[in-house]
Structure 1
Amino acid sequence: MSSVATYYNGKSVLITGATGFVGKVLLEKLLRSSQDVKAVYILVRPKAGQSMQNRVEDMVKYKLFDKVREECPNFHEKIKPISAELTHPNLAISPKDTAELLSEVNIIFHCAATVRFDEPLKHALLLNVRGTQQLLMLAHQMENLEAFIHISTAFANCNRKYTEEIIYPPPIEPRKLFDLVEWMDESLIEEITPKLIGDWPNTYTFTKALAEYLLQQEKGNIHVAIIRPSIVGASWNEPFPGWIDNINHFNGFLIAAGKGIIRTIKCNLEAVADIVPVDVAINLTLAAGWHTAVNRPKSMLIYNCTTGGINPFHWGEMESIVLSTYKKIPLEKAFRIPKGNMTSSNLAHQYSTIVSHMAPAFLYDLYLRLTGKKPRMMKLLNRLHKSMAAFEYFASCTWEWSSDNMNVLLNQLNPKDKKLFCFDVRQLHWSEYMENYCLGTKKYLLKEDMAGIPAAKQHLRKLRNIQYALNTIFLVIIWRIFIARSQMAQNIWYFVVNLCYKFLSYFRASSTLRH
């Protein structure tokens, strides 16, 4: 039997961030693997124009929940939404809901966070650090709490090239920073943010490091574990290969490459692309929850959930896989044929950005204006370039993370759990995974019908013909402007044409003789 799945049966679980990418996968796997779980409380932020109940009803209709729906049609009855706001005092949870959580909850999975790299420091601090503190204060009052599992990031200490499974003290105490941003004007906070975050690349990684330190300082007698996944990508196997539902950063780049919108990405080709499938991170999280609750370790355990040190995959290996996949299974209504390169040269990248991005986008927007439509391509490209600039830091460096705790936990699982809650990335085949990843962007993100592939291929053929026609026109213009007016250019041109003709004649004669 599965020790991990059995543990969660009969338990009441609280999940924050359950409407986000990682939180949804955690919710689905928990409900599918432990169908006798007593209740799953999810904190849901109020949203204008949509009730909390409607948000949850819409969420459980996703294809993500198809498997658990087949096995347990009434699974949604186990989900208990609680209205909450992490940035507010006491999480803005009603007294009635608070009383229920305090008496019922056995284990907490804290997944909620802002993952925007350019989030203003004050808001990132309130959500990622103060929100964690507020949740921890609630956890201290829970009568039957057995474990508190916090989802952090492997890049919380990206200012270090080697990260062990320990907490590193930040340059400033979280409480002092709370006091600072409370009275300071937001424009002034923005001005001093670079000095405050120091050698962290953005407010996201900085505040995640602060949250880890705060947990260590204020956990008291609560049994806490921290999961640090690297770049969380599409699912490897569960519930479906390639499942993805957000367009953040890397996923957006894949779609833009598949649509032919972007053709150059700046990165270090030799650097490790430390992508971890979302189901790997979730399986480790659930296993760590079981281990923390059952074994009650004396010290807080941290699990670096990464792939680079175990099964490395480099950015330079990605280009051919992605482009060949999108040519075999093209996205609908592509802007151009998927083509391009990943380069570490700043000069080559800037040149390609102007020639392959900005110029075609400008001409397309000009065409839209002339036809009475609203221009949109330059605006889209500017957003992509901003996102690519923020992501460049993570695609240009290689980090090393120790993974001792993850390996120890894997060895403690019985054979059934190793299969049901697999997080052994040594078995991951990157080419197959990336193909499924690209396919997932088509099926799950863009929701394109696979029956439309022949039409999408036909569209690519039309784009190819248009490209040939434009190249021909360009050559004619070059001829008229430069070659036709220069005797030397004409002589060179005739020499090249004559040489090509002789080569063709030679090969034709050789072929005739062989036959």
Structure 2
Amino acid sequence: MSSVSAYYNGKTVLITGATGFMGKVLVEKLLRSSPEVKAVYILVRPKAGQSMQERVANMLKCKVFDRVREDCPNFHEKIKPINAELTQPKLAISAEDEEELLTHINIVFHCAATVRFDEPLKHALQLNAMGTQRLLELARQMQKLEAFIHISTAYANCVRKRIDEVIYPPPAEPKKLFDLVEWLDESIIQDITPKLLGDWPNTYTYTKALSEYLIQQEKGNLNIAIIRPSIVGASWHEPFPGWIDSFNGTSGIFVAAGKGILRSVIANNEAVADMIPVDVVINLTLAAGWYTAVHRPKNMLVYNCTTGGINPFFWGEMVVSLVSITEVLYWNYNSYSSELVRTLIDQNYSKDQISYLSLTILLSFRMMKIINRLHKSLMLLQYFSTQSWDWSSDNMNMLMSHLNPEDKKLYNFDVRQLHWSEYIESYCLGAKKYLLNEDMSGIPAAKQHLRKLRNIRYAFNTTLLVIIWRIFIARSQMARNIWYFVVSLCYKFLSYFRASSTLRH
């Protein structure tokens, strides 16, 4: 019997960021592992011309819910969307919705954040820090709240090489910073951002560090835990191996490498590529929610959810893994170019109108845009791909020791069992299937085609080497002498090997 699943059955849960990558996996796992959960409230805002209802409808159509949809076709009835905006006072929640939350919620999972490294400081502060502060204010008024779980990042304190599971002093006093950005002009904030960030590489890690300190200062009597995942990647096992729907982190690198757009990455081969599968993070998050609510630790616990100190994987190894599965990455004979050409023809021109020149120009502009975005992403990632950190994981190990055998299986976050080469291959296949929505049926043919090309390359290189060597031998007495010596040595070795085999028998 799973203690964690049993705890969530009958509970009412509030999740922020439910439409995001990690949020979707959290909602799916919660509904699938605890089918008797009473209700799952999600805070959703209108975005990109879509209403709250449209965004929720699109979220529920996602493939990530296929397993729970099969087990429980009416799972969507337990999801209760609330129109909210974290950047607005009181979260812009209506009085009626606020009352409902205050009287029903048992546990809060705060996943909402902007994860863009180059987000303007003001917006990053409003969402990551001030939004957290507003949610805390609401949580302190909840009458039945048992636990509040905040998703941070392992890189919140990346200015330190050794990162323990504690809250560190903030890069600035949060309230003074909030006042500063409220009255300063946007252009002035942009000008002083580098000085405000100091040693922090971007606004994301900076505001996450502020958020952790804010929680410590303003938690009141709430039972709170903080989860710090490193670079969150595709799923390991759940809901499907390799499930991914975001280009963030290493996903963009894998896709760009597979499409032949990316040929090199700035990285230190000996630095740890601290990736963590999304289902590992969610399993730890749900287990931490159970432990926080049931055991009520005296102090707020921080969980470093990382792999580097337990099962390290290096950037150099990642390159080798990617090269070894090139046939998986180079989807269907360079399908990117053909798809791009077909899209441009269908969307912009009729076939009799388009010329090779105009097509070349269109492709050039499109590719330049893609390459510029990719270059920008790589520059932002360089800080993390060229150095390593040492994270402690005592609290994660402690939590694992409190799980019974059923929970360890159902909520597995033991990354010692993770085989990196298998995971990277699953990641790449998942990116093709779930992120790019490409046909998987062409992979066997693509593998066979690439094997033929590889054999042709080996044969050509061997033939070329023999020709060059023969020409060299014909012109140099020294080269001939070396060649005869090597052949003689090989003959003597083979003769000795045969004689030794004959004597043994």
Does structure 1 residue 327 correspond to structure 2 residue 327?
yes
Counterpart position of 1:266:
266
- TM-score between both structures, scaled by the size of structure 2: 0.85
CA RMSD of aligned residues (A): 2.9
Cα distance change of structure 1 residues 241 and 195 upon mapping to structure 2, 3 Å threshold: same
Does structure 1 residue 97 correspond to structure 2 residue 87?
no
Counterpart position of 1:386:
376
Deviations 1:478-511 (A, max 9, x none): xxxxxxxxxxxxxxxx98772277999x99xx9x
Does structure 1 residue 499 correspond to structure 2 residue 472?
yes
Preserved contact between residue 31 and residue 68 of structure 1 (Cα < 8 Å)? yes
Partners of 1:188 and 1:160 in 2: how far apart? 29
Partners of 1:258 and 1:235 in 2: how far apart? 19
Counterpart position of 2:295:
295
Partners of 1:252 and 1:99 in 2: how far apart? 42
1:139 Cα shift? Answer: 0.4
Letter in 1 for 2:383: Y
SS at match of 1:82: strand
1:449 Cα shift? Answer: 1.6
Preserved contact between residue 334 and residue 459 of structure 1 (Cα < 8 Å)? no
Preserved contact between residue 242 and residue 437 of structure 1 (Cα < 8 Å)? yes
Preserved contact between residue 9 and residue 37 of structure 1 (Cα < 8 Å)? yes
Deviations 1:438-474 (A, max 9, x none): 1111111111121122554588699999999xx9xxx
Pairing of 1:14-93 with structure 2 (within 5 A): 14-93=14-93
Preserved contact between residue 245 and residue 445 of structure 1 (Cα < 8 Å)? yes
Pairing of 1:352-501 with structure 2 (within 5 A): 369=358, 371=360, 373-375=362-364, 376-454=366-444, 456=446, 498-499=471-472
SS at match of 2:156: helix
Partners of 1:51 and 1:390 in 2: how far apart? 32
Deviations 1:53-78 (A, max 9, x none): 22212211221111111111111110
Cα distance change of structure 1 residues 322 and 298 upon mapping to structure 2, 3 Å threshold: same
Partners of 1:124 and 1:298 in 2: how far apart? 31
SS at match of 1:373: helix
Letter in 1 for 2:2: S
- TM-score between both structures, scaled by the size of structure 1: 0.84
Partners of 1:409 and 1:229 in 2: how far apart? 15
Does structure 1 residue 138 correspond to structure 2 residue 112?
no
Letter in 1 for 2:127: L
Preserved contact between residue 332 and residue 448 of structure 1 (Cα < 8 Å)? no
Partners of 1:119 and 1:497 in 2: how far apart? 61
Counterpart position of 1:353:
none
Partners of 1:430 and 1:371 in 2: how far apart? 40
Preserved contact between residue 148 and residue 224 of structure 1 (Cα < 8 Å)? yes
Partners of 2:357 and 2:432 in 1: how far apart? 26
Counterpart position of 1:125:
125
Preserved contact between residue 249 and residue 388 of structure 1 (Cα < 8 Å)? no
1:328 Cα shift? Answer: 4.5
Deviations 1:255-293 (A, max 9, x none): 010011111111010011110110110000000000101
Counterpart position of 1:234:
234
- Segment drifting more, 173-182 vs 455-464: 455-464
1:170 Cα shift? Answer: 1.1
SS at match of 2:265: strand
Cα distance change of structure 1 residues 495 and 371 upon mapping to structure 2, 3 Å threshold: closer
Partners of 1:249 and 1:221 in 2: how far apart? 35
Preserved contact between residue 122 and residue 181 of structure 1 (Cα < 8 Å)? yes
- Segment drifting more, 6-15 vs 453-462: 453-462
1:100 Cα shift? Answer: 0.6
Preserved contact between residue 260 and residue 335 of structure 1 (Cα < 8 Å)? no
Cα distance change of structure 1 residues 144 and 384 upon mapping to structure 2, 3 Å threshold: same
Partners of 2:468 and 2:25 in 1: how far apart? 64
Cα distance change of structure 1 residues 67 and 320 upon mapping to structure 2, 3 Å threshold: same
1:379 Cα shift? Answer: 1.5
Preserved contact between residue 122 and residue 189 of structure 2 (Cα < 8 Å)? yes
SS at match of 1:451: coil
SS at match of 2:64: helix
- Segment drifting more, 122-131 vs 182-191: 182-191
Letter in 2 for 1:232: V
Between the two proteins, the alignment pairs up a number of residues equal to: 459
Partners of 1:425 and 1:190 in 2: how far apart? 40
Partners of 1:183 and 1:455 in 2: how far apart? 61
Partners of 1:151 and 1:77 in 2: how far apart? 26
Cα distance change of structure 1 residues 259 and 464 upon mapping to structure 2, 3 Å threshold: farther
Partners of 1:402 and 1:447 in 2: how far apart? 38
Cα distance change of structure 1 residues 33 and 336 upon mapping to structure 2, 3 Å threshold: closer
Cα distance change of structure 1 residues 179 and 371 upon mapping to structure 2, 3 Å threshold: closer
Q: Which runs of 5+ in 2 are unaligned?
A: 338-354, 462-466, 495-505
Deviations 1:215-251 (A, max 9, x none): 0000000111000000001111111111111012411
Preserved contact between residue 255 and residue 329 of structure 2 (Cα < 8 Å)? no
Preserved contact between residue 331 and residue 456 of structure 1 (Cα < 8 Å)? yes
Partners of 2:126 and 2:95 in 1: how far apart? 22
How many percent identity over aligned positions? 69
Q: Which runs of 5+ in 1 are unaligned?
A: 338-365, 472-493
Partners of 2:361 and 2:30 in 1: how far apart? 51
Letter in 2 for 1:498: I
Letter in 1 for 2:289: G
Pairing of 1:337-356 with structure 2 (within 5 A): none
- Segment drifting more, 37-46 vs 60-69: 60-69
1:51 Cα shift? Answer: 2.5
1:49 Cα shift? Answer: 3.3
